[in-house]
Amino acid sequence: MKLELRIDWSELDVLGHVNNLQIMKYVQAARVNHLEKVGISQSHAEQNVGAILASIHTLFLKPLFYPGNLSVFSRVEYIKTSSIKIHYEIYNDKNELAAEAQDILVYYDFDKKHKLSIPPDLRKKFEDLEKKIFDL
pLDDT digits (tens, 9 = 90+) for 58-103: 999 999 999 999 999 999 999 999 999 999 999 999 999 999 999 9
Q: What CATH number was assigned to the domain covering residues 2-130?
A: 3.10.129.10
3-class secondary structure per residue, the chain: CEEEEEECHHHECCCCCECHHHHHHHHHHHHHHHHHHHCHHHHHHHHCEEEEEEEEEEEECCCCCCCEEEEEEEEEEEECCCEEEEEEEEEECCCCEEEEEEEEEEEEECCCCEECCCCHHHHHHHHHHHCCCCCC
pLDDT digits (tens, 9 = 90+) for 34-58: 999 999 988 888 999 999 999 999 9
Q: What is the domain partition of the chain in residue ranges?
A: 2-130
Q: What is the pTM assigned to this prediction? A: 0.94
